[in-house]
Amino acid sequence: MTVITRFAPSPTGHLHVGNLRTAIHNWMWARRHNGRFLLRLDDTDIERSRPEYADGIRADLAWLGLTPDDEVKQSDRFALYEARFSELRAAGRVYPCYETAQELDLKRKVQLGRGLPPVYDRAALNLTPDQIAAYEAEGRTPHWRFRLDHDAPIAWEDMVRGSQHFDPKLLSDPVIRRADGSWLYMLPSVIDDVDMGITHVVRGEDHVTNTAAQIQMFAALGATPPAFAHEALLVGSEGKLSKRLGSLGVGTFREQGLERQALIALLARIGTSDPVIPVADPAPLIAAFDFAHFGRAPARFDEGELKLLNQKIVHLLDYDAVKDRLPDGVSEAGWLALRPNLEIVADITNWWRIVTGPIIAPVAEAEDAPYLAAAADALASLPFDAGVWPALTERLKAETGRKGKALFLPLRRALTGLDHGPDMAALLPLIGRDEALKRLSA
């Protein structure tokens, strides 16, 4: 069996971090099994769906490196939905309902007031032809529900949540089509999963009840349901559902200069028993990806953890991976010298200014002025190669008796204008002999 997963966002807004996590997990599961990862744009909501949002979804997936093997749009598949709907109608598995939204709301309030679950009472199944004619004479058009089989218990083995059991009598027959003829999520999703050969549906635990109803839809269409993995939802670092999580998207992370590898590395493993580790390539994450490692506790997303992970990943990136994003003149040696001091790649711009100058060095202490003059004389006489810094400091240590902070700090301040920074052994060759002599003399 070829594993086929799908990421099915609605193009009614931008992807947020919860969507991204779902996309990453679908992609990783497919790639781990050498399967196929599909993008399905659930754009049945014609009024709210926008081409620019669809383009944004594609761009976000491309930036993350989650390249779909194919793409479909539900708006291109209405004829298929109509055909399957007709089959279900002929089999008596869908039926028309004439209640208004206000009438349904009143029914729910009455049930809740009596301490009963707000389950649809199937009153529409008992309408007489005269009653239906009267409703239609009022100008009412029906919405449509899928009729659940109350004699068929619903059960499946969820890849995250384990054994799941639902009594269909405790579920409302789901509305699948509005009175204006437009489709809701439930039935088209099942029809597409059957038609596209989806083998695994990976989504949030807020869809568990939907899955219970959809399993009967698969059966009504004569299809075997896919495997399901319902993941715990993301919460903020404070342990609560956060509105901010709904606004954090790829645009936010890109504006912060974060690496896509950091986002993948964190979202691949939060909520699992596996440690979050910095990796510059997702291959080891894909190889170890397993829904058996996911827990049912809420998955905590911490922006601080993401930024720290990003910093660690930046320190792993090879020159070839970043050279197109570096300032002019930064060589591989420059990247390797400055990389340990970066939180994001863009930070290298400020550090590179330290190399190329000009810098503003603090005024040397009175006792350091002769020392810096001696350093300039020593540097002028030494071979200026990769070992120039240890050679310089060893000579100054022997000539002046200085050691530790007194030996190194005045040199760093004169050469960089700072008290801390990259390893001077790597930095001094980048500054160059003439510029270094100029700074020491100044």
The count of other CB atoms within 10 Å of the CB of residue 293 is: 13
**Residue 40: strand pairing partners:** 72
How far out from the chain centre does Cα 283 lie?
17
Query: At which residue do the structure tokens 């976000």 appear?
Result: 60
The count of other CB atoms within 10 Å of the CB of residue 434 is: 9
Helix then strand count (H, E) for the chain reads 19, 12
* Spatial strand order in the sheet of 175-177: 94-97, 143-146, 175-177
Contacts (Cβ under 8 Å, ≥6 apart) of 188? 42, 44, 74, 77, 81
How far out from the chain centre does Cα 220 lie?
34
Query: At which residue do the structure tokens 């449509």 appear?
Result: 144
Computed on alpha carbons and rounded to an integer, the radius of gyration of the chain in Å comes to: 32
Cβ–Cβ under 8 Å, residues 148 and 171:
yes
Q: Is 243 annotated to bind ligand? A: yes
Q: Coil, strand, or helix at residue 24?
A: helix
- Euclidean distance between CA atoms 348 and 334, whole angstroms: 10
Q: Which two tokens stand for residue 307?
A: 């930024």
**Residue 4: strand pairing partners:** 36
Distance (Å) of CA 256 to CA 58, 199, 250, 259: 20, 36, 10, 9
- Extended strands (E) in 209-309: 227-231, 234-236, 299-301
Distance (Å) of CA 248 to CA 66, 176, 181: 18, 31, 34
| Phi, psi angle pair for 439, to nearest 5° | -70, -40
Question: Furthest-apart CA pair in the chain: how many Å?
Answer: 111
Distance (Å) of CA 211 to CA 193, 236, 248: 12, 26, 27
Q: Coil, strand, or helix at residue 317?
A: coil
Q: Which residues define the annotated binding site?
A: 243
Q: Which residues define the annotated binding site for ATP?
A: 243
